């Protein structure tokens, strides 16, 4: 079932949802909100495709897609990889070698200060590199100034990836393959890596705990935070499913 929503004088038909995970479907401790999971399952059961879009690795997203109950389509590594459905092949977009070379510069710099970067799933990543937020992101931006890379601080990790890729750009590719216009998607997130995804969607939303720049990009901001904000947003835009 699809929902027609009016924004100003324009009306859009919402057929699908694309959502961030950490900070959007979880709480501040990264625990999945169980009501958000139930909400996603009800969307899927009523014909609304739900796509997960995260900085997480593809192996994590493969498991989450199955356990949460989506249709299997996801974006991982902040737009670096994606898969269509459970039977689709993993598509890798950026050249990870560029990110690895940039990482080597950072490792050498911080080792001189006696600091070791805490890497996140280096063997499971195909498109980017990610590490703990134990070093200042501004220092990283200065060290890699002039490099052809994007540096993202997702509030949970710092990511480095070849420039020119993002959740929003992968979203465009997924929408085309699913044959659902981006204008028929509701997008929801909380961090800077969600902004272009939110801006591209027909209904771009964010949860109350979002960064200010994300709130400025959204057409709807939930009153509640984290996973509760996701549930609030979905029930607001799909009342024909949740008010029965």
Enzyme catalytic residues: 20
Distances (CA, A) of 79 to 107, 110, 172, 175: 24, 27, 10, 13
| Helix or strand run (H / E) with residue 149 | strand 149-153
Looking up tokens 């549930």, which residue turns up? 231
Angstrom distance (rounded) from CA 186 to CA 7 = 13
**C-beta separation of 211 from 192 below 8 A:** yes
Token pair for 179:
């044959």
**C-beta separation of 141 from 91 below 8 A:** no
Angstrom distance (rounded) from CA 103 to CA 70 = 34
Token pair for 17:
């949802």
């Amino acid at each position: 079932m699809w929902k027609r929503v009016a924004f100003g004088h324009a009306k859009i038909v919402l057929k699908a949802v694309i959502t961030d995970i950490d900070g959007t479907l979880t709480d501040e401790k990264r625990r999945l909100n169980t009501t958000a999971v139930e909400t996603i399952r009800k969307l899927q059961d009523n014909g609304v495709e739900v796509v997960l879009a995260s900085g997480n690795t593809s192996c994590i997203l493969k498991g989450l897609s199955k356990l949460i109950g989506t249709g299997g389509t996801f974006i991982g590594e902040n737009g670096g990889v994606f898969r269509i459905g459970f039977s689709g092949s993993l598509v890798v977009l950026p050249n990870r070698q560029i990110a690895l070379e940039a990482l080597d510069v950072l490792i050498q710099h911080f080792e001189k200060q006696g600091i070791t970067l805490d890497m996140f799933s280096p063997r499971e990543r195909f498109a980017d590199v990610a590490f703990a937020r134990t070093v200042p992101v501004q220092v990283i931006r200065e060290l890699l100034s002039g490099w052809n890379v994007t540096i993202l601080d997702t509030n949970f990790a710092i990511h480095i990836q070849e420039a020119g890729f993002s959740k929003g750009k992968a979203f465009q590719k997924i929408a085309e393959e699913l044959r659902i216009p981006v204008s028929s998607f509701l997008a929801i997130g909380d961090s800077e890596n969600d902004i272009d995804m939110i801006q591209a969607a027909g209904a771009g939303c964010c949860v109350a705990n979002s960064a200010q720049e994300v709130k400025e990009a959204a057409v709807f901001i939930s009153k509640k935070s984290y996973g509760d904000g996701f549930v609030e947003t979905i029930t607001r835009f799909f009342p024909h499913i949740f008010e029965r």
